[in-house]
Amino acid sequence: MSVATKQLVIILLGAPGAGKGTHAGPLSEKLKLPHISTGNLFREHISADSPLGKLAKICMNAGNLVPDELVFNMLFDRVAKPDCERGYILDGFPRTVAQAKVLDRAVQPIALYFSVPDEILIERMTNRLTCPKCNKPYSKSDSCCDVCLVPLIQRADDREEVVRRRLEVYHTQTQPVIDYYAKKNLIPILATGTREEIFQTVLKACQDKG
């Protein structure tokens, strides 16, 4: 007889550069749930030069959001995979209230909000490097990915003018998502301490709620 288990779905909310991607990897290992980053899924499409990748690249390099319909199809395919049966960690989704409403029709997510002032975000993003293979974020003092052993790159959308546009888009389109979850069950995480301190707060919040 199979026993139905409740899915544990965690959403990591916050501005670009707030640390969602940094903590999603270790959180995924600890909770044994897949880390699903919609930004990474789009970057995979861009690397494969797929039709979706071509469209996404135009939006991403301008610092704009990819249209909701394109995000939904891609994400639904991913969460239908067997490794998502127990649950999953979403990083970079939802980014609009429309996306949040669609997600909430399917699951009851635990929403964590990483809050960081804008000045720190701009400095973090313009100073970060990324692995072109696994997308793990690094600081400018690193040169090579410790997992994939390939040289790090600066993401095209981490250039200062694009970063400023991404923050503008975040405040107009994604801040309402924070307000939406604040009325339900938002867990705020002050994400300006050390990496380890922030991670322990994140982990505790997930374990308390999960």
Q: Judge whether 57 counts as a catalytic residue.
A: no
- Dist. CA 200–CA 59, nearest whole Å: 34
Single residue of 65, 163, 178, 198 touching ligand AMP by CB under 6 A: 65
65 or 191: CB nearest ligand AMP: 65
Q: Is 60 in the site for ligand AMP (CB under 6 A)?
A: yes
121 or 198: CB nearest ligand AMP: 121
- Dist. CA 85–CA 9, nearest whole Å: 10
Q: Judge whether 95 counts as a catalytic residue.
A: yes
Q: Judge whether 78 counts as a catalytic residue.
A: no
E strand or H helix that includes residue 194: none
Q: Where are the alpha helices (DSSP H) in 83-139?
A: 97-106, 118-126
E strand or H helix that includes residue 206: helix 195-209
At CA 175, angle to CA 106 and CA 43, rounded to 5? 70
Q: Is 19 in the site for ligand AMP (CB under 6 A)?
A: no
99 or 201: CB nearest ligand AMP: 99
- Dist. CA 158–CA 166, nearest whole Å: 9
Find the binding residues for ligand AMP in span 151-210 (CB under 6 A): 157, 166
Single residue of 14, 25, 39, 87 touching ligand AMP by CB under 6 A: 39
E strand or H helix that includes residue 159: none
Active-site hit among 43, 57, 124, 128 = 128
Q: Which residues are CB-contacts of 13 (< 8 A; sequence separation ≥ 6)?
A: 20, 111, 112, 113, 114, 174, 177, 178, 181, 186
Q: Is 59 in the site for ligand AMP (CB under 6 A)?
A: yes
Q: What minimum distance in Å lies between the beta carbon of 13 and ligand AMP?
A: 11
Q: Is 66 in the site for ligand AMP (CB under 6 A)?
A: yes
Q: Is 57 in the site for ligand AMP (CB under 6 A)?
A: no
Q: Which residues bind ligand AMP (CB under 6 A)?
A: 16, 37-39, 42, 59-60, 64-66, 71, 92-93, 95, 99, 157, 166
Catalytic residues: 20, 95, 128, 155, 166
